[in-house]
Structure 1
Amino acid sequence: MRVVITGILLGCVLGLSSCSSDLSAQTTTHWPISQLDYIGQTVVAHNRVFEHTIVGGLSSIDYDKQHQQWVMISDDRSEESRARAYVGKMTISAHQVSPMKFTQVITLKGKLEKPYPNLPEYLLHHQQVVPDLESLRIDPQTHLLRYTSEGDRKLGLNPFIRDANWQGEYIDSLALPAAILKSPQHGFRDNLALEGSSFSDNGRYYFTSMEAPLIQDGPVPSLTQGAFGRVLKYDRAGVLLAEYVYPIDKLPAKPGLGRHADNGVSEMLAIDDTHFLMLERSGIQNAAGQYHDYIRIYQADATGATNVRGEDKLVAGHFQPMRKRLLLNFESLHLPHIDNIEGISFGPRLPDGSRTLVVISDNNFNASEVTQILAFKVVMAD
């Protein structure tokens, strides 16, 4: 059954009317987290070399509770070094964060049991795919790795979700709905596809999120209106159970004349089976060509959201989106610099039993950007 969204709420989602970022105004919901208290940060040195690879492009982070370590994926398209993930040790106390000590490189491999190729190798042999890896999670039940790639429309390569062991060897993959796959004027947008993912805490479900709308679902965010992105829900057997619509904010600031600006979901993190932390990241270029990153963490609730699974095209007014509420605007931290935050994970518990939350930035292998890791204490709602 289709649920018709009210005109007031639809206007709020699209940024067409004056309203707060809390889409729960008309529907009562319980938000699990009340606030995030900043603890501290650590920075990875630019062009840090570890095991003959350049550490950079870190687009996700996840905590391995079993071994008290972290795993991070690089979005290097096998250009600086082979497509890979890093394992590291980092401790968090109530007042500080230790430096990240890298302990292992995991070279990821495709279906041919070989490392992923770079672009020249792909064009020469047309074997495997050129990866654009963005999100990596540890399966709570199997302890295997699951990661996403955004694909490449120019090369005709679709996004994918794959499983690997800790040696990087390919194990299996999940099927994507037809609506996401590339065809003329249809499917994912380049560099705006499977940017986020998360297992539910018990591993019962797996979720993945699009950074921006599919081509047929409408335009990307602008200064006057937001956009609709999709969140996919899979069960343990890899069956797609649901697709929900997440309302993405409009641009938070005006770019310089002729300069670039974007906003999208750079990562997601399941709090439970229906509540999520959604990391929205906006890069706004000023007149001089310099970027300012606007980072916000929202709580989102899929309860009551329409399951649009099988819908090739979203039609505004014919679905109920996920509700969202702003949890943290990074501007409020008043830190000297906030970079291109792309990863988010719960971490170890503090001595008082509180959970920690960690975010990480992707430096794009650019000397003007940094790889920073920020930690927070999670304050749960009563």
Structure 2
Amino acid sequence: MAKLCLLLTFLLLASCATNAPKKIKELRYIGSINYKTSKSFKGLQLGGLSGLVYDKKTKRLLAISDDRGKWGKPRYYSFKFFLTSKKFKLRTDTLTFLKNNKGKKFKDGRRDFEGITLLRNNHLVLSSEGNTKKKPRIPPALTEFDKKGNFVRELNVPIKFLPEPTGYHDTGVRNNLGLESLSSTPNGGFLFFANEAPLKQDDRLSTTEYGGDVRLVRYKASGSSFQPDGEFVYQVEPIPVPDLKKKLRGSIGLTDLLALDENRLISIERAWVRKLKKQTIRLYSVEIERQTSNVKNEDFLHGKFYKRVKKKLLADLDSILPLMPKKWRKLDNIEGICLGPRLKNGNYTLILVSDNNFNARQRTLFMAFEIIEKKTK
């Protein structure tokens, strides 16, 4: 019996170990898909795609729109796609409206969905930034839905992320800079989310000279739900500008996460400098090390000492611009990331998506990459 248990444990661990790449060497660009903002699907503008997840069961990409109701009710899309080491094709398949706990479509402005992930029970979890401009303020939220868009339940969000309902706003998420990132591990055992920019009580926003600290929150599966397991400090980089232009203004934020296991992730940082008319998109390998500080019990970070998560630049997407179609040779507002299917050679794929902000000067951009792993001796 002991040998059988040991064998089952080994098989379980082995199966988990093959669900994500181990040591990533580089990303190889495969191709991209571009949709103008004028593109519509079933009578609604296709846009605002802010989060992405691959559904292995249906072999579809699922993307959440951050439309608060201006162009259509909150919804997510599914996409059929074809991906090899040389080709990437994609087309819109379905859209699903999301419903509140009363079975009705959300009222305009009540939710700003940004992240999407799949659970082991085949349900979706979506993150919403909330809205601090409303009176009273709408807090950020993590909500579970079934695939048909029906409300299942709310997951608890740590109180330190919640802004005061009324009055002076000096704690919690900043407006439109809340729960942007969301991902679950391939084995479904852990759920991660993060704020796009520092909480009010934690740090200032990133500048061209200084980075800002955000919280990377890890939940652990407990029965049929998730419980907070840890909070770790992730430093967003300074806004990237040439050395002689440090006085320029811009913005930068953590726009999404891809969880590889309970301690390893890939992050997206997106920067925009208006005067340079430039988007900078960088991907980082992120690791929660044994010595990384767990700040779960810290109400604020400002003025305190802690060990941040380890970060290493994985890719600066400026490097692949020459490989993109001439007509579309510029980056856009990348906000979603997921692991895609494995290629015939066994390598994993990675897919990104951009949020066009329903702006005619932007577009929806899907990008596909092959993940090249380091060879093990």
Please give the TM-score of this superposition, normalised by the length of structure 2: 0.86
Partner in structure 2 of residue 142 of structure 1 = 121
Instruction: Give, in whole Å, the separation in 2 of the partners of 1:131 and 1:52.
Output: 21
Identity of aligned residues (%): 30
Instruction: Give, in whole Å, the separation in 1 of the partners of 2:190 and 2:131.
Output: 27
Q: What is the Cα deviation at residue 316 of structure 1?
A: 4.5
* 2:55 equivalent to 1:64: yes
Q: What is the Cα deviation at residue 239 of structure 1?
A: 1.0
Q: What is the Cα deviation at residue 259 of structure 1?
A: 7.4
* 2:29 equivalent to 1:38: yes
Q: How does 1:288-367 map to 2 (within 5 A)?
A: 291-303=277-289, 304-335=291-322, 336-367=329-360
Q: What is the Cα deviation at residue 77 of structure 1?
A: 0.5
Q: How does 1:76-225 map to 2 (within 5 A)?
A: 76-98=67-89, 100-119=90-109, 130-139=110-119, 141-155=120-134, 156-183=137-164, 184-225=169-210
Q: 1:256 to 1:81 in 2, by over 3 A?
A: farther
Instruction: Give, in whole Å, the separation in 2 of the partners of 1:260 and 1:49.
Output: 34
1:154-174 Cα offsets, whole Å, 9 max, x none, are: 210000000001111100111
* 2:231 equivalent to 1:243: yes
Partner in structure 2 of residue 270 of structure 1 = 259
**Aligned residue identity for 1:298:** Y
Partner in structure 2 of residue 14 of structure 1 = none
**Aligned residue identity for 2:285:** Q
Partner in structure 2 of residue 26 of structure 1 = none
Q: 1:369 to 1:257 in 2, by over 3 A?
A: farther
Instruction: Give, in whole Å, the separation in 2 of the partners of 1:168 and 1:47.
Output: 25
Q: What is the Cα deviation at residue 53 of structure 1?
A: 1.7
SS at match of 1:333: helix
Q: What is the Cα deviation at residue 45 of structure 1?
A: 3.4
SS at match of 2:160: coil
Instruction: Give, in whole Å, the separation in 2 of the partners of 1:38 and 1:65.
Output: 22
SS at match of 1:179: helix
Q: How many residues align?
A: 338
Instruction: Give, in whole Å, the separation in 1 of the partners of 2:99 and 2:218.
Output: 25
SS at match of 1:79: coil
**Aligned residue identity for 1:118:** D
SS at match of 1:354: coil
* 2:369 equivalent to 1:381: no
Instruction: Give, in whole Å, the separation in 1 of the partners of 2:171 and 2:232.
Output: 19
Instruction: Give, in whole Å, the separation in 2 of the partners of 1:323 and 1:212.
Output: 18
Structure 2 unaligned regions, length at least 5: 1-20, 323-328
1:291-325 Cα offsets, whole Å, 9 max, x none, are: 31100000000123111112110144521110000
Q: What is the Cα deviation at residue 31 of structure 1?
A: 7.3
SS at match of 2:201: helix
**Aligned residue identity for 2:266:** L
Q: 1:74 to 1:256 in 2, by over 3 A?
A: farther
* 2:216 equivalent to 1:231: yes
Contact persistence 1:47–1:56 (CA under 8 A): no
